[in-house]
Structure 1
Amino acid sequence: MAGLTASGVGSGLDIQGLVQQLVAAERAPHALRLNRAEAGAKAKLSALGSLSSAFDALRKALDPLRNQDAFGARTAKSTAEDVFTVSAARNAPLGSYEVEVLSLASAHKLVSGALDEEASLGVGRLLIEVGDKTFEVEIVAGKDSPAEIRDAVNAAAKAAGAKLGATLVRSDDGVHLSLTATETGAANRIRVTRLEGDATLDALVYDPGTLTSLTERNPAADAQVRIDGLLRSATGNRITDAVPGLTIELKKAEPGEISTFTVSADASAVRGAVQAFVNAYNAAVSAMASVTRYNAETREPSALTGDALIRGASSQLRNALSEALGEAAEMGLTASRLGLSTRVDGTLAFDAGKFDAALASDGASIREAFGGDSGLAARLADVVDRFIGRDGAFAGRSAGLNKQLKSVADQREALDRRLESVRARYLAQFTAMDTLIAQLNSTSQFLAQRLAPPRQES
């Protein structure tokens, strides 16, 4: 690359340096124009990106109000949480209910008498029934100790998919084989019979009405509860189908004791949804103000100062909000009563206390004002949808700016190609000039030598 800085042979000029300076001078105004165009397009794209994010957040905040999910939130409170607790799903029926817990569900448990841990109990086959599962346990010679029988029962139960577990419990008088159903309810009782084999296996039989060598420690019992005087039985202590949308967890049986629980609308969920909407609306308004702000002190505009698209978005949002609040006022829900007010900069202020008071006294009207196809949330969502998404106005504008950036890149490439030709032309011209000067210098030197007077001898 040393040749790039070599001086001309004839002129002594830095030809490469001169060519570079000339090309740079020609590039400068075009590069400045393209850089400004690129920077402007990128700034607008960034501004549109922030606006799209703010509008998208507003759209998401409006959804719980529009589809009225927030209004379906419920709270349930038991007056005797040591006896039972209640949880309520969305849109569960409102009201109060009386509850009397008659009995809890329990899992069937059988325990054998004391067994010698090292003794053989005999060989044969046992038939075990638990719930709707029936399986056989084969006990063979050499594997008939209490521990081995326990393992055989567990393996057979697992293979059959039966909800039963066998364990050994050690006590002062020996070990005891315990059989426990792993699901509660009367339908999951255990029955053990001997199909064949040694009579000593009768120590493990539980067949009410015939032979009950095993002792019943826990009965297989259903839970029973009265709800508003109506009896409901369940195989477990969690009752989910007595009242739609309610789950009652039974903790303790107290026959004769009547408690209550109340299901009410969850005011905090509705308030939280409205507060989220206000926050998102304010963020969208602030984002529009930020990208269109003009700094009077520095006289510098923002990326989208004066942009008609943003003015239109701001105007449409304000109009939709104003129309929705106007219709709510016709229903007796003024903005002030809803706890909403508009600040000087166009953002909203929210008074949660006023809103809670209105919700408590006129919840149905508030639900109508905010939700449904013609409520505040739907009106604002319709406006937002015009600007975001694949077919939204912001996407259309962004696509145009991306095309502009592509055009700038194409123009840069074209400029580079043209200036390369200019550089080559300048280089050729300066090289030709330098060659001509070298030739003239050579001719001048030759003539000077020829025309010089002869030297005088002394």
Structure 2
Amino acid sequence: MSSLDPITMATQLATYDVQPFQIRYQMQADKYQGQITALGKVESALRDFRTAVNEMNGSNSSVIKNTATVSQDGFFTANANANALAGSYQVFVEQVATAHQASAGMPADLDANTQIPTTGTLSFTVNGEKMDIDLSNVDTDGDGKATMSDLVKSINGDSTNPGVNATLVRSNGQTHLMLSSTETGEANRVQVSASGTGAAWFEDGFTNLNEITAPKDAVIWLGAKDSGLKLTNSSNTFEGVIDGVDITVTKAQDAGDAAIGMDVGADSESTKEQVTKFIDAYNSLVGALDAHTSIGGDGVSRGVLANDPTLRSIESQLSSILRADFGGMNLSEAGISIDREGKMKLDADKFAEAQKSNGAALEQMFNGEGNLLDSIDGMMEPYLKFSSGLLTSRKDSLQQNIERIDDKQTQLERKYEMSYDRYLKQFTQMNQIMAQMNQTMSMFG
């Protein structure tokens, strides 16, 4: 009677005891891990789509692009936003806005270290706003003396500064205290006075300002000079003078010059680029969803998230939003459709016609408050919150399932060890019995 190998037998039988459980647990863990990976890819695609949406829906951006072109460069530039209406205009630039600039009438030997009074008040007024500099606080190093350099720092650094900038400028060997308005326009003239200082040279210096540049408003005419519509503005940028169009003047024309032409119209190529970016981002999201939610069949594998309620909800909500009307228009009317596979397609000709004939409604559909892009962003928000989003919660729940399986695997390892020890003991005893029987039988050989 041959002997048995207790270790081999114990290993085989202990493995048989736990193997079905190991296979089942591993299959479950692989399934959960596959779902976590798939949810991560869907989440990434959803974030990419949301980024594309937000880039087209910011305060300074839009899907619809218009353009404004001028017939002659050098005098003004124009920028048209999505609300601009197509049209041709004539603009004459009569005057460019300037900022007030003056120098104080100080002594000729003035320099940065010239001491100034440490009593009294220096007052500035710009466009109705006032700043009072207490000269007793100008001394910054505490030595009881204040200099012109200290005064410049006090003026520029005061929290109530209404829009005046002070600078010490050297010209032809002489130092000048320059005062400039930080904004253009007549209303931003710098007014200054000193009182209670006991120093006539100081107070007279601010009474007798030397005007270097007078403050002026910008002046333009919509149409020919003197016969068109005259417009004035403290800034060189006229915002919304024509709906959706900003005009920034840079140089005045001569009195006898003709008005300059400005054409406002749709920027079809830039708009198409924006729309294509939106469509591509959406189709990438649909591709990610399809890859993981397929029900399988006809040679196609079943997706690890097939019939997943979270993803079904995303698809359903997106579909509902994309088919809805916003501002009296929907995507299909603008030449954007969704095919049988759920992918978005653009009819470029139909879209161009919609932009040309009803650009304002098209812009309102995409970028109006609470409309298409806002609705898409709001729909995605609950799913994409970093700490408490629905996709994050789903992944956390699946990870907890994996951790519970790990605990079961640990228990299974203990079960294997106990079975192995029991079988090893049994087969070792059996081996001993068989050895004794072989020895007994040999006596009768």
Matching residue's letter, 1:205:
G
Q: Which residue of 1 aligns with 2:95?
A: 102
Q: Which residue of 2 aligns with 1:164?
A: 165
Structure 2 segments unaligned to the other structure (5+ residues)? 137-145, 223-228
Shift of 1:275: 1.7
Q: Which residue of 1 aligns with 2:23?
A: 32
Question: Is 1:428 matched with 2:425?
Answer: yes
Q: Which residue of 1 aligns with 2:74?
A: 82
Shift of 1:249: 3.3
What are the residue-to-residue correspondences of 1:341-420 with 2, within 5 Å?
342=339, 347-363=343-359, 366=362, 405=402, 408-420=405-417
SS at match of 1:104: coil
Instruction: After superposing the two structures, state which structure 1 stretch, 12-21 or 67-76, moved more.
Output: 67-76
C-alpha distance in 2, partners of 1:66/1:102? 36
Shift of 1:110: 1.7
Give CA-to-partner distance per residue, 1:305-343, whole Å, 9 cap, x none: 9x4459x95997799589949x99x999977x827584x
Are residues 401 and 169 of structure 1, via their aligned partners in 2, closer, same or farther at CA, if it must alter by over 3 Å?
A: closer
Are residues 101 and 130 of structure 1, via their aligned partners in 2, closer, same or farther at CA, if it must alter by over 3 Å?
A: farther
Are residues 188 and 401 of structure 1, via their aligned partners in 2, closer, same or farther at CA, if it must alter by over 3 Å?
A: same
Number of residue pairs matched by the alignment: 408
Q: Which residue of 2 aligns with 1:3?
A: none
SS at match of 1:108: strand
Q: Is the 8 A contact 2:82 2:360 kept in 1?
A: no
Q: Which residue of 2 aligns with 1:252?
A: 251
Which of 151, 154, 170 in structure 2 is aligned with 1:153? 151
SS at match of 2:218: strand
Q: Is the 8 A contact 1:194 1:202 kept in 2?
A: no
SS at match of 2:99: coil
Identity of aligned residues (%): 19
C-alpha distance in 2, partners of 1:198/1:374? 63
Shift of 1:47: 3.1
Q: Which residue of 1 aligns with 2:62?
A: 70
Q: TM-score, normalised by structure 2?
A: 0.65
Structure whose alpha-carbon radius of gyration is higher: 1
Q: Is the 8 A contact 2:92 2:253 kept in 1?
A: no
State the superposition RMSD in angstroms: 5.6
Structure 1 segments unaligned to the other structure (5+ residues)? 1-10, 139-147, 452-458
Q: Which residue of 2 aligns with 1:144?
A: none
Matching residue's letter, 1:271:
K
C-alpha distance in 2, partners of 1:55/1:406? 27
Are residues 273 and 314 of structure 1, via their aligned partners in 2, closer, same or farther at CA, if it must alter by over 3 Å?
A: farther
C-alpha distance in 1, partners of 2:390/2:121? 74
Question: Is 1:18 matched with 2:9?
Answer: yes
Are residues 78 and 111 of structure 1, via their aligned partners in 2, closer, same or farther at CA, if it must alter by over 3 Å?
A: farther
Q: Is the 8 A contact 1:76 1:261 kept in 2?
A: yes
What are the residue-to-residue correspondences of 1:179-328 with 2, within 5 Å?
179-184=178-183, 185-186=185-186, 187-191=188-192, 201=201, 205-207=205-207, 212=208, 215-219=210-214, 221-226=215-220, 228=222, 229-234=229-234, 236-240=235-239, 247-254=246-253, 256=255, 258-259=259-260, 261=262, 267=268, 270-291=271-292, 292=294, 301-304=301-304, 307-308=306-307, 313=312, 320=319, 324=323
C-alpha distance in 2, partners of 1:388/1:435? 66
SS at match of 1:422: helix
C-alpha distance in 2, partners of 1:123/1:54? 66
What are the residue-to-residue correspondences of 1:41-52 with 2, within 5 Å?
41-52=32-43
SS at match of 2:232: strand
Shift of 1:426: 0.9
Q: Which residue of 2 aligns with 1:141?
A: none
SS at match of 1:183: strand
Shift of 1:150: 3.3
C-alpha distance in 2, partners of 1:223/1:194? 31
C-alpha distance in 1, partners of 2:195/2:329? 77
Instruction: After superposing the two structures, state which structure 1 stretch, 88-97 or 47-56, moved more.
Output: 88-97
C-alpha distance in 1, partners of 2:291/2:67? 41
Are residues 72 and 331 of structure 1, via their aligned partners in 2, closer, same or farther at CA, if it must alter by over 3 Å?
A: closer
Shift of 1:63: 7.3
Shift of 1:20: 2.3
C-alpha distance in 2, partners of 1:434/1:97? 111
- Higher RCO, Cα 8 Å, sep 6+: 2
